[in-house]
A and B are shown apart, each in its own frame.
Chain A
């Protein structure tokens, strides 16, 4: 007995699923927040002024950890806002790939921070943080708009300088990396990529 022909709408649903999956695989994560980056940059410049040069005290580390918490909050809120306004779902494949590539270097940073503190290497934390954050942005940026990996590369370069430059330059390197790069590229992203 011949098999019953499949109804046409079943083919159509299959085609739509194929289109959605192809677009997801091909698409970049575009909900990177430009204005959020500017806010994070301003917060980092303020923190550099408050913290002063690295002085091997836990106070200096604590000031920057508070800034990190503030930056994460800004990033979450501004990414959610941009995702909603631009219609890019945070549950989609591009966002998942971005997140999976972005997170590991940050986890490495969380592990290395207490190691540097307990070994008395706090003066070298700016190099460590900038290098790992830059790596996170570069690897995550491979799944985002082209400008994002450039920001990451800039942070990585400052991180390398942070390891070889005199320790008192640390807070200025942090201001240039976490502050300057976020502000400049945040403005470019906001203008070119919708907020």
Chain B
């Protein structure tokens, strides 16, 4: 088999790969992706703003560049937030916004929290 046909077959294999199904969650299990404190902060801040820059979020959440990058990337990979990169003159500008999927996940997370409190009171 030539290199070209090998590459074609690999590409088709990758295309046919299905994303791994997320583990099933019980009614009181929280979305672990949002539950982490910094990611929860990012999603909460973006829920009340159309968009926020990287520096806005860093200042707001009192965190470091590296920490914010890592956690924002995880939310981006899950398509909970979207990132737009542009240039303000010569300065790179990174803006984040919450996606509809992210907003739904955040609302679901709050519903779960509510359910836990109700269960604790019962």
Residues of A within 8 A of B (CB): 7-9, 12-13, 15-16, 18-19, 22-23, 25-28
Contacts and interface: CB of A to CB of B under 8 A. Distances in A.
A12 B49 contact: no
B47 interface: yes
A160 to B, nearest CB: 27
Contact of A16 (B47, B60, B113): B113
Interface residues of B, number: 20
A19 B48 CA distance: 11
A27 B120 contact: no
B9 interface: no
A12 B117 contact: yes
Given A25-B60, A27-B49, A12 B116 contact: yes
Given A23-B47, A25-B45, A26-B60, 20 more contacts: A8-B116, A9-B116, A9-B117, A9-B119, A12-B113, A12-B120, A16-B110, A18-B37, A18-B40, A18-B41, A18-B44, A22-B40, A22-B41, A22-B44, A22-B60, A22-B61, A23-B48, A26-B52, A27-B49, A28-B48
B48 A26 contact: yes
Nearest to B106: A19
B24 to A, nearest CB: 20
Nearest to A25: B60
| Most B C-beta atoms less than 10 A away, residue of A18, A19, A28 | A19
